[in-house]
Structure 1
Amino acid sequence: MSLSVIEPTNLQNSNPLVGENYGLTLTQSIQNLVAENCKETPNFTHFIDIFYELMQSKVDPPLESIWVYSALTFRSRILTTDDPLDRLSAARDLFQLISACSGSCNSSKSIALLAPVVFEVYKVAVELKGRHLGSKREKKVFREVKSLVDVILGFISVCCCDTSNGKRNVSEVTDLNLIVSFKDLVSLWMEKSESFKSFLPLVNDEICRESSERVCDVNYLAGMVTVEVFLLKLCLSFGVGMAGVELEKELTSWAVSSITGFQNVCFFETLVRMLLEPTLPVTSLLSSEHGVLLKKVLYDAVILVEYSFLNPESAVDLPVELMKSLAMTRLIVTHEAIELLREDGDQKKAISYASAFSSSKLPSQIIKWITNQIGMDEKERSLVSSPKALLKWLLSLENQGIRAFDDKILKSHAKLAVDNSKTDYEYQSLKVKGNEASGDLHFYIDNKGEDEEDEEMNESMSAVFVAAAHSMKLPENGGRKRKEMGNTGNKKKIKYPKHDLSDNHGSTREGFSSVGNEDLSSESEVEDAEAVEQ
């Protein structure tokens, strides 16, 4: 049965819902509803009328009023059936109801309200794991799940497009805190046996805990919902024909295109924070092997591409604390990714990550924040070209009593990442004849569009990286046979372009180049030396 807006009758509210009275009525009504929900056999009938009026009394109603009204309507109409197609139909009706009720709301609120829709779709998707989708009915369920996820992604993309085109509401760039506990709101969608974490199944435990313990910001919630739909789409892309390198390239291209289109800092920050964890929260949807491949795809998407919406000049209306936290998280993730690649023996990809880091604005941005904070002279800035060197410098400042990490959890991640990494990147020490290595590898850092100060710093960082590349050594006895390695006389010039994607979605696939396969010389296993710290 379709979930259309229910117009109440015989409302008995003598006080006008304006000004302070509106907030008091909304808060008290939610408290009464939560208390009713705790009863053995709750009765929500009369609450539907109350929240309908609260929702209709404002042009841009609070998230709580739409959320509660949708929850009550959904729970009163949902069919008591386990048939996945019926449940998907109900989820689609819920999506239409919420999108209709949030039509006049800003984009962040419209996206955040979709959390229960994603929750319902996810539950059906989980049931498909492990099935061979042999029967026509199972194939139809899979198609319906993918179709609804695509519809939700399209809605989110339209909302994000409105924001990026300058239609951003003031409330979207400031704190837009919920009036009541997010945990209380979530309880309206859950069975008594279900935990809060199960409502946000594709977000890791740490982020879930934060959202339940602190005052939840609507922008932050919208970022979490976008991450969930983003991951759900990627997970559903496995096992549908493509595999191996072809699948990895396709997923990476789509991920980069989507991140570019969303241009949402809260979404990106949530996604990058999730990469700090050893595994992604997708085990209910993917095998461990596919989970590892998905993490590789996300590493490529967040490390190898420099997105224009993350540039300081593009984020002037966002809190400095948010941008600084994001920058520190990206730094730690990049370091951990390089370490993992080295452990796996993928030296080529490790080099591409290190090159992308040194050629990006991230190191200079972090150094500027810290040196401005402590009043260090411009000429005294410590120039580093590797994530590990920069992390060590920041931790050394912390040991001197200078606060480099605003977040204790990030500081712990940073310390753990450095402690767990190899002390001196222990690889076989080998000899190189003459200047053979220096002629084989050339690194190109694109500094177009940067101010003079950034250009100077990146040139210095690039010089250190090039020096490290020139010191790379070849194995004498080991690795591949000479004949497999090709003609060592053919020198190749390698470019590591800095990717700066604009809003042009159509050119994303052509503009994105996966660094680390064809572009790298197969003549040697290479490693970048640690930058000299000051």
Structure 2
Amino acid sequence: MAAGSIVVDFPSMGAALCFPNLESLLRDSASGFLSAVSAAPAPGAADLTNFHRVFSRVLSTYSDPPLEVVWFFSALSFHDRPDDLRSLLQLLSAFAASSPGAAKPLALLAPVVSELFHSDKPRRETEAVVEAVLSYISICSSRPAPSSTEGTTADAVRLLPAFGDLVKVWSVRHSRERCPFQVLFPLAGDEARRELMKEGCSVDYLAGVVLVEAFLLRLCLKVQNATGVPRSELQKELKIWAVSSIPVFQSHQFFGVLLNMLLNSPLPVYSLVESFLICGN
């Protein structure tokens, strides 16, 4: 996080505002974003020009910008081009190019996985983006874990307290009444969401949750495509796919989150998967 105060210009307001730190800038910007979206006459009609200008400048001051800054800027871009999930994936991956290790690039993917879950696009189009996400996960997971001079890994960085405000920004398109964490992390278990709500949650843990959600989302799509396939054959196919896919992720947080969800059944997707299994027979 950049030290000292942050001064940003709002040309349309003819004023420059001073924020004591990045945290206050993020909180105020998230609040302004939500107000602008709520007051807009139609979905996607909010004028977010000033936010674009401000965060373009903020991003330019970092060689490896904080996750929360990237999430806010990408939310602005996605608001202009809603449902363009490939562009969103490309934007988030571009900002992660300079990040050491795998945790942050993977954690950044949470909005993409969430939007895929809520998407009403044709199944084939959704599957194509899911496969692109899994390919990107495979590439990132092969990165070696970086170490710092203090003996801690770069992946151990903590989320900013304003993280919860950014969750609200990304969940507002789908629900303003449900818990924002439930909207943005629809396939995570309750315990995983409670951990994410804690101040100081690690980026590494967030990455593990994203991996589990991507894994479960692909599992659901495979079940959807198995209409008419005998249960025993489908179970065998899914087992082979799961066993071959899990080692690719190479994340102890992934294994920890998934194991915890299995021990606290039913899984968030259990009823969904079960309904498709029943329909397929």
Task: Pick the TM interval, shorter chain.
Answer: 0.7 to 0.9
Give the CA deviation at 1:190. 2.0
Give the CA deviation at 1:254. 1.9
Asked if the contact 2:208/2:253 (under 8 Å) is kept, the reply is: yes
Q: Distance in 2 between matches of 1:268 and 1:229?
A: 13
Give the CA deviation at 1:194. 4.1
Residues 285, 56 of structure 1: alpha-carbon distance in 2 compared, 3 angstrom cutoff: farther
Q: Distance in 2 between matches of 1:237 and 1:27?
A: 41
Corresponding residue number in structure 2 for 1:155:
136
Correspondence for 2:245 among 237, 253, 258: 258
Corresponding residue number in structure 2 for 1:27:
23
Correspondence for 1:58 among 55, 59, 62: 62
Give the CA deviation at 1:202. 0.3
Asked if the contact 1:66/1:102 (under 8 Å) is kept, the reply is: no
Q: Distance in 1 between matches of 2:85 and 2:33?
A: 22
Correspondence for 2:179 among 178, 186, 195: 195
Q: Distance in 1 between matches of 2:178 and 2:248?
A: 34
TM-score, reference length from structure 1: 0.43
Correspondence for 2:230 among 222, 240, 243: 243
Asked if the contact 1:172/1:219 (under 8 Å) is kept, the reply is: no
Corresponding residue number in structure 2 for 1:186:
167
Correspondence for 2:107 among 112, 119, 135: 112
Q: Distance in 1 between matches of 2:32 and 2:146?
A: 37
Instruction: Give secondary structure in 2 for the equivalent of 1:287.
Output: helix
Structure 2: gaps (5+ residues): 7-18, 40-45
Instruction: Give secondary structure in 2 for the equivalent of 1:103.
Output: coil
Correspondence for 2:261 among 244, 259, 274: 274
- Aligned residue type for 2:57: E
Give the CA deviation at 1:20. 4.0
Instruction: Give secondary structure in 2 for the equivalent of 1:275.
Output: helix
Number of matched pairs: 248
Instruction: Give secondary structure in 1 for the equivalent of 2:98.
Output: coil
Give the CA deviation at 1:239. 4.3
Instruction: Give secondary structure in 1 for the equivalent of 2:200.
Output: coil
Correspondence for 2:197 among 192, 203, 212: 212
Residues 95, 235 of structure 1: alpha-carbon distance in 2 compared, 3 angstrom cutoff: same
TM-score, reference length from structure 2: 0.79
- Aligned residue type for 1:199: L
Corresponding residue number in structure 2 for 1:305:
none
Give the CA deviation at 1:206. 2.0
Give the CA deviation at 1:240. 2.8
Range 264-273 or range 105-114, more displaced: 105-114
Correspondence for 2:52 among 36, 48, 61: 48
Asked if the contact 1:182/1:216 (under 8 Å) is kept, the reply is: no
Give the CA deviation at 1:100. 1.4
Instruction: Give secondary structure in 2 for the equivalent of 1:189.
Output: helix
Give the CA deviation at 1:18. 5.4
Give the CA deviation at 1:147. 1.3
Q: Distance in 1 between matches of 2:130 and 2:197?
A: 26
Asked if the contact 1:112/1:218 (under 8 Å) is kept, the reply is: yes
Give the CA deviation at 1:234. 1.0
Residues 289, 69 of structure 1: alpha-carbon distance in 2 compared, 3 angstrom cutoff: closer
The reply on whether 1:225 has 2:216 as its aligned counterpart is no
Deviation sequence 1:83-129 (CA, Å, 0-9, x none): xxxx3xx11111111111221113211111111111111112xx5xx
- Aligned residue type for 1:160: S
Q: Distance in 2 between matches of 1:18 and 1:195?
A: 30
Q: Distance in 2 between matches of 1:119 and 1:204?
A: 14
Identity of aligned residues (%): 36
Q: Distance in 1 between matches of 2:92 and 2:190?
A: 27
State the structure with bigger RCO (CA 8 A, min sep 6), 1 or 2. Answer: 2
Asked if the contact 2:85/2:112 (under 8 Å) is kept, the reply is: yes
The reply on whether 1:77 has 2:81 as its aligned counterpart is yes
Give the CA deviation at 1:71. 0.7
Q: Any residues of structure 2 matched to 1:398-477 within 5 Å, and which? A: none
Q: Distance in 2 between matches of 1:56 and 1:45?
A: 17
Q: Distance in 2 between matches of 1:258 and 1:168?
A: 24
Give the CA deviation at 1:189. 1.2
Corresponding residue number in structure 2 for 1:36:
32
Instruction: Give secondary structure in 2 for the equivalent of 1:237.
Output: helix
Q: Distance in 1 between matches of 2:241 and 2:142?
A: 17
Residues 25, 251 of structure 1: alpha-carbon distance in 2 compared, 3 angstrom cutoff: same
